[in-house]
Amino acid sequence: MSVDITLINKLLAAQNIMVLTGAGISKESGLSTFRDSDGYWSQYDPTKLASLDGFLADPLLVWKWYYERKQKAIAANPNAGHLSLVEMERLFKNFHLFTQNVDNLHRRAGSVNLYELHGNIFHSHCLNCGIKYNDDFVITDKVPICDICGGMIRPSVVWFGEQLPSDILKVAFEYANKCDVFFTIGTSSEVYPAAQLPFIAKDKGAFIIEINPNPTSFSPTADLSIRNPASEALTEIIHLYKQVRGI
Ligand code: OAD
């Protein structure tokens, strides 16, 4: 593994650490990624399942897919990758975790400084009046309907063609501009604006570590690429960091 003292020295000197995660960090919890050869988008059409037009065309199909994903996320447990990021939050003063994942596993692991760029699969809201629901809908043959206005309820996730929550995106750009160490973990770096964040950090002089068993379009820009699963790489980084600090 390419965890060495250079990275540990960067961590020791860092004032602000930023992390961006993607579906790869939850793969070892048994959840599917999107663009791997066995990922969702190799089997399903994202325009049908992850866009407003797809939802309007067939809301029950979309709800059934999200319902199935929720059941899988509930059955899954955070893995050593998620737990390592919780430990990093304890070890470093200014540590901020941004995720593209909607599976709630970072929160269940115990991360607090957590920002969900693409929403959360366990939240929903009315398409018509916007009222929020903490949903426990069981989806069988009906789309959930708003108690207040009778509109269709939709999952509170960001679909293709939709804006990311502006408050969260603002904070993400702010931290990308000021962090000195940036980890991009388990993401193909294909979806913007999230994929822009490590480029911004790099432009501002941050040290960028990519953790991904496979190369991505971001790899040539990374200062260090660790080609291991997230759980192994993060466990190793924490181990070495604690060893150097004698804690
Ligand atoms: P992708 O499926 O695009 O990428 C997952 C990445 O994880 C790949 O580059 C894999 O090589 C890597 N990977 C696989 N196993 C890993 C492991 N054990 N440890 C570390 N990395 C591993 O998923 P995202 O980049 O998260 O958005 O996708 C971004 C967005 O595209 C998602 O939020 C979703 C999707 O469409 C929406 O649905 C709007």
Identify the DSSP state of 227. -
Residue found under tokens 């250079």: 6
Where is pLDDT greater, at 138 or 208? 208
The ligand 1 site (C-beta within 6 Å) comprises 22-25, 27-28, 33-36, 39, 46, 50, 100, 118, 158-160, 186-188, 190-191, 211-214, 216, 229-230
DSSP 3-state percent helix, strand, coil across the chain (nearest 5): 40, 20, 40
Dist. CA 187 → ligand 1 center (Å): 4
Average pLDDT over residues 233-241: 97
Counting atoms of ligand 1 from 1, which one is nearest the CA of 157?
39
Rounded Cα distance, 211 and 233, in Å: 7
Q: Is 118 a catalytic site residue?
A: yes
pTM over 0.85: yes
Rounded Cα distance, 26 and 78, in Å: 7
Dist. CA 191 → ligand 1 center (Å): 9
Average pLDDT taken over every residue of the chain: 97
Q: Which domains does the chain carry?
A: 1-31+78-118+164-247 (3.40.50.1220), 32-75+124-157 (3.30.1600.10)
Rounded Cα distance, 175 and 80, in Å: 25
Say what the pLDDT of residue 136 is: 79
Task: Give the pLDDT confidence of 184-213 residue by residue, as tens digits.
Answer: 999 999 999 999 999 999 999 999 999 999
Counting atoms of ligand 1 from 1, which one is nearest the CA of 34?
2
